[in-house]
């Protein structure tokens, strides 16, 4: 959709949309023809938009990227932390470039460690995320060189954006280091936030034994070989954390507590295409219809001894469409009853990692417990957590105390900005300049243009969101696959 068209529609559609007349708006657009664009967040989402803009830059474009961590390129997921932390997508699907699907594989083939490897095997491999980060860093450096050759104005600012002012819809402003800066367009690429603290356990939050940020390894310094460790959560971050703990020499059993205590599933049957199931998926479907289709197909494949996970892969290209079709009641039902099951089936681990997890469970080194933390109290350097087991049919709730030297929060990034006091997006939502997405997930946005919306459901025509910020609108919006498509789309909108 053409950017100017979006705006025209906006001014026609919205009663009292502003004091700006359409003509006045177009004048200010012309003034901003210099394309002075800001990206908030220098993770992979932010730099993918930047690479797209650099590749198609028009003369006079000026681009500023803000990152509070001062890291441009790798973002949170692809830091050089542990070689044991693996991509959960095969290498053959991790190209940054939509037009060159084997770009990562070609880069790998030039790395000394992989020159002898069979390309078909490399394409199926689950490689270290740090290695993927090296590839991202290399491609980002090339883009920076191109920008310099083209004489583009590109500024990388290691600064936190602390507030947004979207009162003038044509000239959004952001605040950094106590100064307000005006841009023609903003791209919000703030990515992953720290996890939410467990409810009802305030003693936890400031205790030295509590690790709020599982993605920084600084807490490993506190670890001793016989520390008692409790991990909150049972997803991919739990797996990474367990690998870090074992690599750091932890000898003792680890307890993982999560609401359902589902076991992780492995990636099986790579490349299995379920074409009959894919073809049976309708253009429009209710949650109930989809469940019926899925369950029928699940029984069929299981009857033949094949696991049902490839059904999830077959569903994935359609999930954004179905999610948008669901009513609020269906979305709520999904979040309450199916989200955890979907999470287990969707976020699987490579087979060899799954074997390691199973081995640790068999050896009593990993216990996965279904329940939740009810209370926490400090006992010197340790934390005592009261855990209530999940109630199963006839089994009454049981409560027990667990004394831990380290409690690591691996419950996943907070997705409700309304809960992040002081965050610029929380402030903008509170002021009505932005709105929370469906069910409070991410931001409300127009799913065609990817522009965010305000509290009156009106599009903010010069402010875009990407990646996990679109979780409520699109549901599946965090993996590289979705982010690179969105980056291409946003760059196209900005330059059209």
The binding site for ligand FAD (CB under 6 A) comprises: 40-46, 66-69, 71, 75-77, 87-89, 129, 160-161, 189-192, 237, 424, 467-468, 478-480, 483
Residue with tokens 């460690």: 113
Which residue number, 52 or 478, has a Cβ lying nearer to ligand FAD?
478
Backbone torsions φ then ψ of 173, nearest 5 degrees: -120, 155
Q: Are strands 161-165 and 173-176 parallel, antiparallel or unpaired?
A: antiparallel
CA–CA distance, 465 with 482 (Å, rounded to integer): 13
Smallest gap from Cβ 215 to ligand FAD, in A, equals: 6
Which residue number, 157 or 207, has a Cβ lying nearer to ligand FAD?
157
Smallest gap from Cβ 426 to ligand FAD, in A, equals: 11
Smallest gap from Cβ 309 to ligand FAD, in A, equals: 16
CA–CA distance, 138 with 364 (Å, rounded to integer): 42
Which residue number, 72 or 334, has a Cβ lying nearer to ligand FAD?
72
Smallest gap from Cβ 88 to ligand FAD, in A, equals: 4
Smallest gap from Cβ 317 to ligand FAD, in A, equals: 15
CA–CA distance, 43 with 75 (Å, rounded to integer): 4
Tokens for 442? 């991410």
Tokens for 84? 């044991």
Nearest to 90 by CA among 307, 348, 318, 265: 348
Smallest gap from Cβ 74 to ligand FAD, in A, equals: 7
Which residue number, 388 or 479, has a Cβ lying nearer to ligand FAD?
479
| Angle in degrees, CA 292, 295, 301, rounded to 5 | 140
Smallest gap from Cβ 4 to ligand FAD, in A, equals: 28
CA–CA distance, 440 with 112 (Å, rounded to integer): 47
Which residue number, 350 or 371, has a Cβ lying nearer to ligand FAD?
350
Smallest gap from Cβ 203 to ligand FAD, in A, equals: 27
CA–CA distance, 263 with 368 (Å, rounded to integer): 8
Which residue number, 36 or 237, has a Cβ lying nearer to ligand FAD?
237
Which residue number, 85 or 228, has a Cβ lying nearer to ligand FAD?
85
Which residue number, 76 or 335, has a Cβ lying nearer to ligand FAD?
76
Spatial contact of 277 and 119, defined as CB atoms under 8 Å apart = no
Smallest gap from Cβ 93 to ligand FAD, in A, equals: 8
CA–CA distance, 263 with 307 (Å, rounded to integer): 15
Smallest gap from Cβ 240 to ligand FAD, in A, equals: 6
Note the Cα 211 to chain centre separation in Å. 20
In what helix (H) or strand (E) does residue 139 lie, and over which residues does it extend?
Answer: helix 129-149
Which residue number, 38 or 366, has a Cβ lying nearer to ligand FAD?
38
Tokens for 404? 């831990």
Smallest gap from Cβ 68 to ligand FAD, in A, equals: 4
| Angle in degrees, CA 476, 424, 232, rounded to 5 | 55
H helix intervals, 326-387: 328-333, 339-346, 351-362
Spatial contact of 210 and 351, defined as CB atoms under 8 Å apart = no
Within 10 Å of residue 299's Cβ, how many Cβ atoms? 10
Which residue number, 77 or 131, has a Cβ lying nearer to ligand FAD?
77
Sheet holding 382-389, edge to edge: 210-211, 406-409, 229-232, 254-258, 366-379, 382-389, 399-404
Q: DSSP letter string over 250-314? A: --S-EEEEESS-PPP-B--STT---HHHHHH--SS--HHHHHHHHHHHHHHHHHTT--SHHHHHH
Q: How many angstroms separate the first and last alpha carbons of the chain?
A: 9
Which residue number, 259 or 413, has a Cβ lying nearer to ligand FAD?
413
Tokens for 325? 């079709």
Which residue number, 196 or 390, has a Cβ lying nearer to ligand FAD?
196
Smallest gap from Cβ 179 to ligand FAD, in A, equals: 14
């Amino acid at each position: 959709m053409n950017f100017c068209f979006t705006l025209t529609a906006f001014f026609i559609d919205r009663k009292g949309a502003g004091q700006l007349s359409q003509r006045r708006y177009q004048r200010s657009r012309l003034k901003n023809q210099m394309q002075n664009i800001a990206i908030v967040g220098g993770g992979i989402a932010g730099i993918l938009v930047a690479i797209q803009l650099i590749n198609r830059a028009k003369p006079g474009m000026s681009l500023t990227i803000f990152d509070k961590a001062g890291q441009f390129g790798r973002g949170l997921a692809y830091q050089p932390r542990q070689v044991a932390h693996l991509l959960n997508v095969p290498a053959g699907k991790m190209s940054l470039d939509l037009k060159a699907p084997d770009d990562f594989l070609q880069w790998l083939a030039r790395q000394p460690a992989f020159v002898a490897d069979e390309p078909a095997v490399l394409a199926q491999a689950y490689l270290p995320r740090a290695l993927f980060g090296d590839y991202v860093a290399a491609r980002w450096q090339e883009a920076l060189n191109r920008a310099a050759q083209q004489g583009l104005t590109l500024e990388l600012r290691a600064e936190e954006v602390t507030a947004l002012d979207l009162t003038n819809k044509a000239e959004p402003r952001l605040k950094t280091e106590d100064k307000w800066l005006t841009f023609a367009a903003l791209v919000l690429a703030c990515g992953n936030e720290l996890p939410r603290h467990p409810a009802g356990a305030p003693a936890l939050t400031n205790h030295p034994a509590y690790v709020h940020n599982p993605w920084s390894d600084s807490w490993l310094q506190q670890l001793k070989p016989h520390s008692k460790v409790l991990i909150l959560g049972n997803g991919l971050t739990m797996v990474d954390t367990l690998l870090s703990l074992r690599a750091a020499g932890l000898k003792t059993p680890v307890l993982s507590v999560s609401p359902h205590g589902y076991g992780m599933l492995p990636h099986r049957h790579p490349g299995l295409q379920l074409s009959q199931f894919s073809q049976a998926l309708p253009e429009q479907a209710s949650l109930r219809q989809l469940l019926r289709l899925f369950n029928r197909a699940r029984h069929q494949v299981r009857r033949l001894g094949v696991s049902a996970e490839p059904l999830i892969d077959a569903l994935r290209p359609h999930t954004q469409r179905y999610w948008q079709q669901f009513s609020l009641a269906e979305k709520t039902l999904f979040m309450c009853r199916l989200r955890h099951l979907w999470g287990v089936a969707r976020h699987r681990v490579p087979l060899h990692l799954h074997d390691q997890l199973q081995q640790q469970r068999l050896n009593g080194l990993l216990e996965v417990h279904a329940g939740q933390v009810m209370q926490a109290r400090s006992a010197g350097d340790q934390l005592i957590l009261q855990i209530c087991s999940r109630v199963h049919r006839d089994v009454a709730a049981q409560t027990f105390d667990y004394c831990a030297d380290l409690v690591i929060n691996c419950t996943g990034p907070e997705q409700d900005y309304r809960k992040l006091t002081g965050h610029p997006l929380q402030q903008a939502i509170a002021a009505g300049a932005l709105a929370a997405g469906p069910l409070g997930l991410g931001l409300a946005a127009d799913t065609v243009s990817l522009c965010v919306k305000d509290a009156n459901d009106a599009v903010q025509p010069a402010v875009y969101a990407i990646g996990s910020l679109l979780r409520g609108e699109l549901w599946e919006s965090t993996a590289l696959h979705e982010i690179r498509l969105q980056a291409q789309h946003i760059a196209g909108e900005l330059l059209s």
